[in-house]
Amino acid sequence: MASGEPISAILSVTEVRNALRCPRAFVLGRLERKPVTFPIGSSCLGASFHRIVDRFAQTVQTPPEELVGLSTQEAKVGPALDRWIMGLLIRELEADPSYASIPAEVDELAEACRQFSAHVARRVGDFPGEVSRNLPRLLPSGEHSVEAAFPEAGVLLKGRIDALFGSGTGELEVVEYKLTDEANAPLDQAQVALYRELLKRSEGLDAHPVILRFMPEVVQTQISPAQADRLVASELIPLLEQMRGWLGHPESVPPTSRKAMCAVCPVQRACSERYPQHLVFRDDPPAVACRPRPTLDGHLVVAQPVIKEVAAPEDAEGFKEAALLRERILKEFHRDGIPAQAPAPIVGPRLYVIPVSRPSGPVTQMDRVAEDVRHRLANADGLEVEYVRVGAKREFLIQRAHPQAVGLGPLLAAKAQWLSERPGRFVVGQEPNGTILTADLADAATPHILIGGSAGSGKSWLLKAIVASLVHFHDPARIRLTLLDPKRVTFIGNEFQAAIAAHRDGPILYGIEDAMPCFAHYIGVMEERYERFEAAQVADLYEYNLLMPSARRLPRHVLVMDEFQDLTADKKAAQEFRAAVQRLGAKARAAGVHLILATQRPDRETVDPSIKSNLGGKIALRVASAVNSRIILDQGGAERLFGKGDLLADLGKGLVRAQGAVIDLPAPVNT
């Protein structure tokens, strides 16, 4: 044994894999004395597949009679192997009735087994002679326990290899089976490289690392022995030493660099309690939404959303600046002979609202002077100032030099009770006076939403916040999302996609050609639901779900599409699109099917009357012209917004101004 640290820690290869995912997940698993597993994002039948192929490996010494005497080159070998392995699958399915509830997953498992049998048939063909004699040479071992000391790190490492494969050239392969896509490839390579090292140290075997990935088609990835050895020496042995140190000093463990892990982590809550320093990708929406999460023993449970009451930050600078601006405005009025008055200003996150009035005399004279005041403030101080006249009210709106972002998390916490009562409710942002702006897709006035805003207006941030808000309080059985992003810029980010993955009806769609099939699908869903409602003698989804037991309730479906203007560019596509919007707009609310459609080009060609009239909720961010504003809101004003989330919205209660909520805020600085 080489010299080094005394062995003071016993680790497993699975724990090393977890430490590569997240050092804190490894340590928290140890503190809970349970291994941390991450079943979400991989096939839920991965364990079933491993059991089946291991049973096959354990029985290759005694193959079925139809294989005895066959040459490895005969065409009958493949079908015979397939029948053998599919027979093992059938035994697995018959032993557990719960498989009957997941037919789609069982189909994928069956195809993975077929691909495995085809792979074995190809590989055994490399050996001359009879199949029965060569199968044990191809598969000398199924699952294989190994352990070895790493004195240079002070660690004893244990693991369980999926299989050892032989080859016609005499080389040995250490093989890992995976039913995940290649997103986890670095973890898989590290795992199989460690198994190669364990075999060398414990049994003196020199095995080539191989990953067999079934998705369900088989993809074989070979890693060169030299590459595996470099990985072990440069990264994994130093990691073993770090892991030993973390066990002694758990307070020193760093957070993950793989930020998408937090949304699916089984120890997310324990992590936030033990390591309370704020982490955006762990503590903020959508990572903390209501969704299935694994427990430490690998079972899935629907975790309740994390709600953190956050005190509003002190804004002494804002109030001071607003007060100075108020005095400045009054001074300018008085200088021009107008005895204007102004109550206390409203300090919003993005703008100051300074109401002004004239106790006597014609207000028109005050309006003329107000325009001069606005220009002087803009020219002398470089301020963005708007003077607003609504009925008898007069207000100066002044953009803050240092705006405060409106984080989605605190707004969700403040509206938790209302939002959690019914799926389809969501947060839009915060009005200057602090009122939280919300909307409800189940409301007859706002079953569908039209959003318009030019580049830089904050439209993409707002869409992400709305999506995160929709899923925060309701599990995937209650609300489902379909996201279309033709420009591939709105719903980007592995952390965001991982956090909402459980609520999606499928992958995010990027091709404009995918849009019309989506609309057609939801028209079908709508019509099918109306047939159900008629049979149940109910009027809408709400009444239907009241009658049904929990397992038979239907979710709300929300189709969110950014940049729908490309659908209106072609005459035929535009007709189909407008017809679909009209049909869904007229009937889909009661069926629980909703549209949120956004465009950065709210002109007459994109948003014609048939679209506008069927999308009851309207949100306008900054647009290029008053014409664009009127197309969305029936009035001007959006062209004068300040951008970056400043918005006007008509959500069934009249026009209001607000600052759109955002996710992924910077972590607060601890002082």
- Give pLDDT tens digits for 15-28: 999 999 999 999 99
Q: Let me know whether 221 and 366 are in one domain.
A: no
Q: Which of 247, 269, 294 is the last residue of a domain?
A: 247
Cα 257 to chain centroid, rounded:
17
Strand pairing class (351-356; 300-303): unpaired
Do residues 496 and 464 make contact, with C-beta atoms less than 8 angstroms apart? yes
Beta bridge partners of 148: 157
**Residue 557: what are its φ and ψ, rounded to 5°?**
-110, 130
Stretch among 177-181, 217-221, 518-522, 613-617 having the lowest mean pLDDT:
177-181
> Does residue 432 lie within any of the structural domains?
yes
> Does residue 468 lie within any of the structural domains?
no
Q: Which of 547, 570, 597 is the last residue of a domain?
A: 597
Q: 604, 607, 627, 629: which is closest to 619 by C-alpha?
A: 629
Predicted confidence (pLDDT) at residue 547 exceeds the cutoff of 70: yes
Predicted confidence (pLDDT) at residue 43 exceeds the cutoff of 50: no
Q: What is the pLDDT of residue 44?
A: 52
Cα–Cα distance for residue pair 408/663, rounded to 1 Å? 6
Q: Let me know whether 377 and 355 are in one domain.
A: yes
Cα–Cα distance for residue pair 629/80, rounded to 1 Å? 69
Which contiguous run of DSSP H or E holds residue 593? strand 593-599
In the chain, what is the greatest distance between 2 CA atoms, to the nearest angstrom? 112
Q: Which of 266, 281, 303 is the last residue of a domain?
A: 303
Do residues 70 and 131 make contact, with C-beta atoms less than 8 angstroms apart? yes
Q: Let me know whether 242 and 383 are in one domain.
A: no
434: left (phi over 0), alpha (psi -120 to 50) or beta: left
Q: Cα–Cα–Cα angle for 301, 307, 312, nearest 5°?
A: 165
- Give pLDDT tens digits for 195-210: 999 999 999 999 999 9
Q: 361, 359, 351, 472: which is closest to 400 by C-alpha?
A: 351
> Does residue 615 lie within any of the structural domains?
yes
Predicted confidence (pLDDT) at residue 100 exceeds the cutoff of 60: yes
Domain that residue 276 falls in: 249-303
Grade residue 182 by pLDDT with cuts at 50, 70 and 90: confident
> Does residue 620 lie within any of the structural domains?
yes
Cα–Cα distance for residue pair 313/403, rounded to 1 Å? 13
> Does residue 383 lie within any of the structural domains?
yes
> Which of the pair, 506 or 238, is modelled with greater confidence?
238
Strand pairing class (393-399; 385-390): antiparallel
State the total domains in the chain: 5
Length of the chain, please? 671
Name the packing angle between helices 363-381 and 316-335 (round to 10°). Answer: 120
**Residue 57: what are its φ and ψ, rounded to 5°?**
-65, -35
Question: What's 276's DSSP letter?
Answer: -
Contacts of 253 (CB under 8 A, 6+ apart): 23, 24, 27, 246, 275
Query: In percent, how much of the chain has pLDDT > 90?
Result: 74
- Give pLDDT tens digits for 356-390: 998 888 888 899 999 999 999 888 888 889 999 88
Cα–Cα distance for residue pair 298/291, rounded to 1 Å? 15
Q: What is the pLDDT of residue 311?
A: 64
Q: Let me know whether 606 and 580 are in one domain.
A: no
Q: 666, 654, 649, 655: which is closest to 426 by C-alpha?
A: 649
Q: Let me know whether 438 and 351 are in one domain.
A: no
> Does residue 95 lie within any of the structural domains?
yes
* pTM (2 d.p.): 0.83
The answer, yes or no, to whether the previous bond of 128 is cis (omega within 30 of 0) is no
Q: Let me know whether 587 and 605 are in one domain.
A: no
Q: Let me know whether 298 and 162 are in one domain.
A: no
Q: Let me know whether 378 and 430 are in one domain.
A: no
504-507: long-range contacts (C-beta < 8 A, 24 or more apart)?
Answer: 504/480, 505/480, 505/481, 505/557, 506/482
Q: Let me know whether 623 and 660 are in one domain.
A: yes
Q: Let me know whether 76 and 124 are in one domain.
A: yes
Q: What is the pLDDT of residue 41?
A: 37
CA distances from 45 to 48, 102, 219, 543, 640 (A): 5, 10, 18, 36, 55
Q: 135, 29, 41: which is closest to 80 by C-alpha?
A: 135
Q: 651, 193, 297: which is closest to 441 by C-alpha?
A: 651
End-to-end CA distance of the chain: 50
Place of tokens 């600046």: 321
Do residues 120 and 138 make contact, with C-beta atoms less than 8 angstroms apart? yes
Sign for the pseudo-dihedral over CA of 372, 376, 378, 384: negative
Grade residue 103 by pLDDT with cuts at 50, 70 and 90: confident
> Does residue 467 lie within any of the structural domains?
no
Give the CATH number, domain containing residue 359. Answer: 3.30.980.40
> Which of the pair, 4 or 250, is modelled with greater confidence?
250
Q: What is the mean predicted confidence (pLDDT) over 524-548?
A: 96
Q: What is the mean predicted confidence (pLDDT) over 398-409?
A: 91
Cα–Cα distance for residue pair 607/599, rounded to 1 Å? 9
Q: 383, 345, 226, 273: which is closest to 28 by C-alpha?
A: 273
Cα–Cα distance for residue pair 557/384, rounded to 1 Å? 41
Q: What is the pLDDT of residue 47?
A: 82
Question: What's 184's DSSP letter?
Answer: G
Predicted confidence (pLDDT) at residue 6 exceeds the cutoff of 90: no
> Does residue 463 lie within any of the structural domains?
no
539: left (phi over 0), alpha (psi -120 to 50) or beta: alpha
Question: What's 551's DSSP letter?
Answer: G
Q: What is the pLDDT of residue 278?
A: 87
Q: Let me know whether 574 and 633 are in one domain.
A: no
Q: Let me know whether 91 and 227 are in one domain.
A: yes
